[in-house]
Amino acid sequence: MYKVCTEGLTENADKSIFYLGSQPINSNLMKKPNVFYFLISLSLIALLASCGEKKAQKTENKADSPAIHTLIFIDKTASVDVSKPFVAQKYQQALNSIIEENVRKSGDKFEIYYIHENTAKGRCLSLTCRTEMEDTEGMNATDLEAIKTSYDLSIRKERTFVIKQALARLNAQNDNASNRETNILASIPVIAKASESGAVVKVYYLSDMVESVKNGRDFQIKPPKDDSEAEAWAKADAEKYKDLALNGPDVSMILPFEPTSSIKENNPTITFYWSKLFENLGVMSVQEL
């Protein structure tokens, strides 16, 4: 218990002295805000802020994110002319954006296939990123800046090399007999094979998406007449690939058509067919660019 001691004090003496055990405590101090608890509160706030920063840093760190496997299918048939200014600019910009976004760290894979009569065997480029992205969690600002600078230099060199190789494949001409047919459906087993690695698979078609095969679909001669027929055809064709596991890749169709293109040239029922085909194969993200 606290004991009030006033014995032996002079008239002017401060009688507001309390004892806890044998140690005196000034009551005036007890009435003031407790400095000790105030400092503890500040320490806790600083600790929580530090934890928040580390959590944010860990969230932004992509060192432990899954690898990306990029598959690009470039149409090398007579119906797509990449030498046209509009097509060349659109496809060059697309390749630059894709590489900038998907080539990030060691393990990311970048492949290009040509679409023609023998698409399944049309691989013309296969590169794997080697730039290491270190785990920066808990590093001080100086070390973090040094690692970031080193990473930026290395990944810039790799991306520049990949872009150069990709543009060379884009601009290459196909004067062989394979340019007479457009077998886009043959790309589906290629996508399924890429999905086996467990990487995030992103697929891009630089094509008019006009399937044209002698013993199969030929949209040049007979495109679907409406969305209903396109959906029915897509469902029937997807059934042929039901045993393949695509594991939900992202699919983008980058068409070579200008905004002023006619329906005959840029037939919406054809792209609708492909959207429904991929949906039937379990692909949830299909976009037309």
Tens digits of pLDDT across the chain (289 residues): 444 444 444 444 444 444 444 455 444 444 445 555 555 555 555 555 455 544 434 434 466 789 999 999 999 999 999 999 999 999 999 999 999 999 999 999 999 999 999 999 999 999 999 998 777 677 778 878 888 888 999 999 999 999 999 999 999 999 999 999 999 999 999 999 999 999 999 999 999 999 999 999 999 999 999 999 999 999 999 999 999 999 989 999 999 999 999 999 999 999 999 999 999 999 989 999 9
Q: Do residues 108 and 210 share a domain? A: yes
Same domain, 17 and 114: no
Measure the CA angle with vertex 275, ends 84 and 281; round to 5°: 130
- Domain end call among 18, 35, 57: 57
Domain end, chosen from 57, 80, 103, is at: 57
Q: What pLDDT shows up at residue 145?
A: 84
Q: Which residue has the tokens 């290395």?
A: 154
The verdict on 145 and 278 lying in the same domain is yes
Token digits of residue 226:
């409406």
The domain of 48 spans 3-57
* Same domain for 98 and 48: no
- Quick one: how far is CA 32 from the chain centroid? 56
Are β-strands 23-26 and 17-20 bridged in parallel, bridged antiparallel, or unpaired?
antiparallel
Same domain, 113 and 238: yes
Angle at 188 between CA 187 and CA 190, to 5 degrees: 65
Q: At 122, which amino acid appears?
A: G
User: Do 146 and 195 share a domain, yes or no?
Assistant: yes
Which residues touch 107 (CB under 8 Å, ≥6 apart)? 67, 128, 129, 199
- The predicted pLDDT at position 226 comes to 97
Q: Rounded to an integer, what distance in angstroms lies between the CA atom of residue 116 and that of residue 266?
A: 19
**Order of strands across the sheet that contains 23-26:** 3-4, 17-20, 23-26
**Domain match, 46 and 118 both:** no
* Single pTM value for the model: 0.78
Same domain, 139 and 174: yes
Structural domains in the chain (count): 2
Is 45 found in the same domain as 104?
Answer: no
pLDDT in the model for residue 37: 55
Residue 162, Cα to own-chain centre: how many angstroms? 17
pLDDT of residue 144: 82
Whether residue 25 sits in one domain with residue 73: no
pLDDT for 284 equals: 85
83 and 218 both lie in a single domain = yes
Same domain as 193, residue 268? yes
- Cα(18)–Cα(58) distance, rounded to whole angstroms? 52
Asked which of 28, 57, 86 is the last residue of a domain, the reply is 57
- Dist CA 24 CA 132 (whole Å): 63
CATH number at residue 257: 3.40.50
